[in-house]
């Protein structure tokens, strides 16, 4: 079921996107003061680590669409487990924590004048929470949550290295996962804590499953050959 907190976030993000779209294409207003621009944030625009989460690219609907689809499928179970207030606090902490990491990274890389928008950091915070608390639930009916999150994090690291000039903020994606992981592991959101995601254990599990599948195929081939003799 669609929970209350998730519903509020969906309405707030989609509603804000529509406001952005109308203001930009109707009046040429870009709401730049709400974007996360590190050089502005450190000069007093202290609301930006929160406000940037509710802005999305008006160059198309895909940015907001995929974020909202991710929220729709991962948010309700977490909110049902934590409760509405805790879920919303977690969302805001992941988003704001990501914003702080983006600011720090921008000054390290000399990109403090580049703006960041979107709730991707909070979304990736939800994904890591999902992977920790519900590691064996299947994503898309085929892959366990812990493996999906591990693959997603690996892809973000590779893309962040290979596509440094991309408009996608990979620091925000990985930052959201890091902040979410720390919040859950420190017990900030209660005592309910799932098992650690051990990359080596996951890799061993993949290898073991592959060996079993290969042995099964070999056995089936052997039995078919025996049947033909």
Task: Split the chain (229 residues) into runs of 10 and give each run's mean pLDDT.
Answer: 92 96 92 94 94 91 87 89 92 94 89 89 90 81 79 67 54 86 79 42 56 74 65
Q: What is the pLDDT of residue 198?
A: 43
pTM of the prediction? 0.75
pLDDT at 217: 75
- Measure CA 67 to chain center: 8
pLDDT value of position 174: 83
pLDDT of residue 12: 96
Residue holding tokens 């254990």? 201
Quick check: 120 and 67 in contact, CB under 8 A? yes
In three-state secondary structure terms, 26 is helix
Which pLDDT belongs to residue 199? 43
Q: Which helix (H) or strand (E) holds 144?
A: strand 143-144
Model pLDDT, residue 34: 95
């Amino acid at each position: 079921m669609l929970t209350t907190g998730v519903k509020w976030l969906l309405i707030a993000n989609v509603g804000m996107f529509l406001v952005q779209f109308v203001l930009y294409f109707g009046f040429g207003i870009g709401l730049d003061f709400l974007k996360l621009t590190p050089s502005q944030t450190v000069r007093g625009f202290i609301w930006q680590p929160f406000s940037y989460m509710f802005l999305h690219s008006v160059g198309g609907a895909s940015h907001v669409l995929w974020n909202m689809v991710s929220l729709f499928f991962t948010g309700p179970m977490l909110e049902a487990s934590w409760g509405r207030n805790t879920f919303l606090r977690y969302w805001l902490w992941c988003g704001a924590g990501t914003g702080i990491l983006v600011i720090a990274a921008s000054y390290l890389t000399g990109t403090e004048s580049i703006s960041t928008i979107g709730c991707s950091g909070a979304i990736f915070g939800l994904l890591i929470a999902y992977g920790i608390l519900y590691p064996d639930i299947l994503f898309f009916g085929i892959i366990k949550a812990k493996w999906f999150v591990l693959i997603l994090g690996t892809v973000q690291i590779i893309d962040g290295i290979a596509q440094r000039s991309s408009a996608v903020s990979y620091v925000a994606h990985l930052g959201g996962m890091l902040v979410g992981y720390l919040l859950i592991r420190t017990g900030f959101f209660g005592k309910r804590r799932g098992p650690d995601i051990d990359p080596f254990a996951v890799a061993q599990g993949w290898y073991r499953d592959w060996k079993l599948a290969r042995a099964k195929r070999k056995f089936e081939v052997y039995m078919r050959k025996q049947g033909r003799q």
